[in-house]
Structure 1
Amino acid sequence: MTMLWLSIGTLLLIALWFLSLPLRRARAIHDWQQRFEADDHAEAQNLAVYERRLSALKSARDRGEIDVARFEEGRHELDRNLLEDTEAHRRMPLRRPLSGRLMIPLVITAVMAASMIGYRWLGADGDLALHAAQQDVLNTPGASMKTLVGRLEEEAGTQPDNPKVWSLLFPLYQKIGQPGQAIDALERLIELEGRRVDLLAQLAQIKFFVAGRSLTDEVHALIDEILDKDPREPTALGILGVEAFDDGRYEQAINYWRRALAGFEDSASAEAIRKGIAVAEQRLEQSANEAGLVVD
């Protein structure tokens, strides 16, 4: 966390250095502009050209090459051109080099305020605090998983709208044997993240096992919602397979588990499903054999 603020401070200092650059260069630019304007003889050159053309016009009149009307027309044209050239080259008086110096601290203050406010609203300040809490526990000798849960609960109290807090808490509650708290944390996460299929599937799974592997009305409603959104969701299909297996409906359990097998990405879950299918097939074969013996 300290390194982050040091990095932010360093970047701000660099930004402030660039922002103050125009002010620090203002004197040199002002002096250069003054020298340029002092050495600029464009107006004198325009006036000299005007005088030469007017003189040529007068000579043409005196020699009788043009009449008075054409002379006056030509002179008015020269006057208009000179006036336009003079207006085009007219310059505003130079301001003092430090005339805008008050804008620099105002801009610097605005940049710093916008950076801090923007980071508070759009940055990951809460996530950094959460990470710092985790690292503090992990670096504490003898710290247990319950210690980590306690620290995360403190973060949940200070930033209850951060979904990452609850996504960390609910699996930890499961690991320390607190399924009720796991359900509460997961339901809070669903409130924040929306009714995502993966979250609903985990909620259905926890409630299913809390109910003693029973397909209660609440669990059944969750599974219906999940499969309506994703008919191939593996966790929901796995739950239905477990319920069918416990009820002795082995063929149905095998069907659910085979459909679920295609959706599991981790090898451990897939291997557990394969073992369940193998056991269900053995039970199904055993049931068939026993039925054959009874008929005989």
Structure 2
Amino acid sequence: MTALWLGIALLTLCAVAIVMLPVVRLRRQSAEANVDRKDLNIAIYEERVAELEEELAVANLDQESFAALKLELERNLLVDVSDTDTDTDTDTEVAAPQKVTLGAKVTACVLALLVSVMALSIYAKYGHQAELAMALDPSLAPQQAEGEMPTMEQAIAQLEARLEVEPENAEGWYMLANTYMGLEQFDKAVAGFANVLKYLPQDAQQYAGVSGQYAQALFFAKGGKMDAQIRQVIDQTLALEPLEITALGLLGIEAFEMGDYRTAMEYWLKALPNADGQPAESLRSGIRSARERLIEAGEEVAEIPELKQVELRLNVSLDQNLLAQVDPQQPVFIFARPVGGRMPLAAVRLTVADLPATVVLDDSLAMQPQSKLSSVDQVEVVARISTSGEPKPQAGDLMGVISPVAVQGQVDILDLSIDQIVE
């Protein structure tokens, strides 16, 4: 880094020298005789104005500074010309040495200062100091063998170096915070999520979800204990999104640990419709545990439909008579949708080369959290080979359909054959 700053200092001095060059040049010219002072003053004025225009063109001066400095030059010119006219009664030339005026010196000094300050300000905002430092000194960069994937430590170090250069990168902070959550370094995860919330606009769609994750990181960082700070973050999160999964999950955990199993169930059931995959399974597991505790305590608990596992098992195959009409890499879209509807409730994507295949459709494959397989009583199951490669059906596609299929209590494996050509 010493070499970096020495280079910056050297370049700054060069810029200052260029600005001060006209002053030095004028001092040399002051020793020359037989010089027309009026013409010299005008020439100096024009030269300074040209320099100011160059500085304005390359954005080293803003318009306001340019106007102020030009006005100062004009005033100096008027004063000098007036003095010349007073001293000269005829058109004869005056062979008096030309002195550098105070205004000219001030102008040059102001320009030199502006060049230095503006250059450093621009570099501080847009420069890549950390990356340049690693380029100048490779030992500062995380080392890895050529062609190898970076280790977790190297990846974190690279991301942190990037965030030093781009501290307002909300996406980068989010990646770093989630990485630390996975490593169970919760204090660092808290700091990461705090930075995400600092730089992410509050009206962003992801803001409430990140706020819930921030509350979760605080909860784990404090040993799984709820306190006023965590509750405040949860309240702020739910004010933005009343159905935010993580915040509701934390309230359910708190209620469960306090022995209020029914309230815990209520929080988790409220969160469940928006959950998918592993979060949904975790919520269902918590609901089952709370329900079992209530039953063990002698309380009556009604059946909970959300706990019923809904899945359709399919054996998908292609009619042998249609084999010659398809390519092994063409996509196969397999999905269940409401009878007479168009939006899939669960879907998977294979290729012709994967057939025949056994496929399981369930709520984890929902296209939208509020539209799941378990939300309807009957569906039609479709398998379609897309000749265009697009999900939207077109003439010439190959398709197989089974309809209607009961969703609840389905235990048989359904045989779905692709045996039709879409007209």
More strand by share: 2
More helix by share: 1
When normalised by structure 1's length, the TM-score is: 0.49
Which is higher, the Rg of structure 1 or of structure 2?
1
